[in-house]
Amino acid sequence: MKNKSIYPWVVVGLLWIVALLNYMDRQMLSTMQEAMKVDIVEIDIQKTKDGQLILMHDNTLDRTTTGKGEIKNWTLADIKKLKLKDKDGKVTNYVVPTLEEALLTAKGKIMVNLDKAYDIFDDVYAILEKTETQNQVIMKGGQPIETVKREFGSYLDKVLYMPVIDLGNKEAEKIITDYLKELRPAAFEIIYSDPKNPLPPKIKQLLFKKSLIWYNTLWGSLAGNHDDNLALTDPEKSYGYLIEQLGARILQTDQPAYLLDYLRKKGWHN
């Protein structure tokens, strides 16, 4: 993850933003980046009955497609016959994209954060090699460094791995310190639900000039209530607080246009 400046990156993330991006044509990622200048897009991965990888948040087809049932019981050929629904449940003309299609669309244009990929990463990596996009993806997980080295170790020098640290865990500070000693990640995703948790400012100091700090503002429980909902009425208490008080340099949001407008007005994003 190349740090273009000291200012925050913006991650297009979770649920509907990602789902809506999945409905777009093959130019959607480059068009989105050109129009909104986001830095990273998150995609969710599921595995079909015949071992193919597709973009889908849920492990069932019911909510976002015209199909029904678990994805693991459907072949890719049958899933490709389905139509995607929009966020209001209306059927569109779009079909479910494969991971390979998404990576080829993003190739050379935008970083991709892979969610729900840890347990199937052998399959994922084969597609990364095929598309030559190994240096363009971010993998993340909440396991301690010892577990990651044991389960994921053969990939640690091939892809960018980002630990997800829940500050509600009494071992959180030790887990971060262990990662700094053994892996020195480019970034940590920090999660905390209790606004009174004393650790976030301490983590800012611990990671200063070592690793970037990533916060997810989709839900209050992920960022001490400094979320997108609060930002819509008071961005300084949400985005501003995470950036200035807690050292965030990567923000994952469900309101990318609004966040980018805020950052540009502050002179924090081009």
Torsion, CA 223, CA 229, CA 230, CA 231, rounded to 10: 90
- Asked if 61 and 68 touch (Cβ cutoff 8 Å), the reply is yes
User: Is pLDDT larger for residue 266 or for residue 176?
Assistant: 176
Give the pLDDT confidence score for residue 24 in this predicted structure.
40
Give the pLDDT confidence score for residue 257 in this predicted structure.
83
- pTM, whole model, 2 decimals? 0.87
Computed over every residue of the chain, the mean pLDDT equals: 87
Give the pLDDT confidence score for residue 4 in this predicted structure.
41
State the DSSP H helix or E strand holding residue 42, giving kind and residue range, or none if neither.
strand 40-47
Q: pLDDT, tens digit, for every residue of 35-86? A: 456 788 888 899 999 999 999 989 999 999 999 999 999 999 999 999 988 7
What whole-number distance in Å separates Cα of residue 10 and Cα of residue 255? 10
pLDDT range class, residue 157, cuts 50, 70, 90: very high
Give the pLDDT confidence score for residue 33 in this predicted structure.
53
Q: Indicate the residue type of 78.
A: D
β-strand pairing of 53-55 with 40-47: antiparallel
Both structure tokens of 164? 């997800």
Residue 97 is classified by DSSP as P
In percent, how much of the chain has pLDDT > 70? 86
